[in-house]
Amino acid sequence: MNLEGKTAIVTGASRGIGRATAIYLARSGAAVIVNYAGNREAAEEVKQIIQSEGGKAEIVQADVADYSQCESLMQSAIDHFQRIDILINNAGITRDNLLARMKVEDWQQVIDTNLSGVYNCCRTVLRPLLKQKSGGRIINLASVAGLHGNTGQANYAAAKGGVIAFTKTLAKELGSRNISVNAVAPGFIETEMTAQLSEQVKAQVIERIALGRLGKAEDVAEVILFLASSSGYITGQVIPVDGCLVM
């Protein structure tokens, strides 16, 4: 999987799945923009890891929920590495609660970050991608919750379901430009996002997973790397990475 000469932007690359993805893409030769929201120290650590392995990385702070910050994020990538080839829309948050108790701000924050954030980054990356005329790869992080729903996650499932529909639509719009657009739908992955689950809930989840374990960030990152480095003939697809939690 050779990504030499390519530039990848990974949103939310300071931790979890984004961090593992940034490191995998860099190991395959891509120059990586490590985006983060507030955790500069963690983003700096990812950059250090990549550079210590001989790779290229720069950190860029931007809130994906803010359109103008996404414009600046794309411009920073051009300023640092002169081109953009791969966009991984990974940044995401949860604000779980049953709908009866879900506050308006918890609905809105999740929609703004997890769904509008994907629109903001895709919309702002299009101009440089189309100008380059050399195709591109966009990979969006969905979730099995967006495919099947999940109690306590009406906001999150709605956002991720939206990401899936958005992915399919964009794949149709950009196919003729050799820009593939796919989604990866993780199940339960061991990151800070799922660390808040109690041991009892984790045990119940593991019972439902055929592989008998939660996933690791690297389990997802290797699928993202595959899509990022593929010929592009896979597009408009949603690939679950869930150890057979749902089928």
User: Which of the following is catalytic: 36, 67, 156, 233?
Assistant: 156
For ligand NAP, the closer of residues 15 and 47 by Cβ is: 15
State the pairing for strand pair 136-141/238-241: unpaired
Question: In whole angstroms, how close is the CB of 66 to ligand NAP at the nearest point?
Answer: 8
Contact residues: ligand NAP, CB under 6 A: 11-12, 14-18, 35-39, 42, 63-65, 90-93, 113, 141, 143, 186, 188-189, 191-194
List residues bridging with 215 in a β-sheet: 189
Question: In whole angstroms, how close is the CB of 188 to ligand NAP at the nearest point?
Answer: 5
Question: In whole angstroms, how close is the CB of 64 to ligand NAP at the nearest point?
Answer: 4
For ligand NAP, the closer of residues 130 and 201 by Cβ is: 201
Position with the least CB separation from ligand NAP: 16
Encoded tokens for 97: 């609660």
List helix spans (H) across 62-188: 67-81, 104-110, 117-132, 144-148, 154-174
Q: Is 67 a catalytic residue?
A: no
List residues bridging with 183 in a β-sheet: 140, 238
Question: In whole angstroms, how close is the CB of 81 to ligand NAP at the nearest point?
Answer: 19
For ligand NAP, the closer of residues 130 and 211 by Cβ is: 211
User: How far is residue 215 from each of residues 20, 92, 158, 211, measured CA to CA in Å?
Assistant: 13, 17, 23, 9
User: How far is residue 144 from each of residues 157, 212, 235, 238, measured CA to CA in Å?
Assistant: 8, 17, 18, 10
Catalytic residues: 156
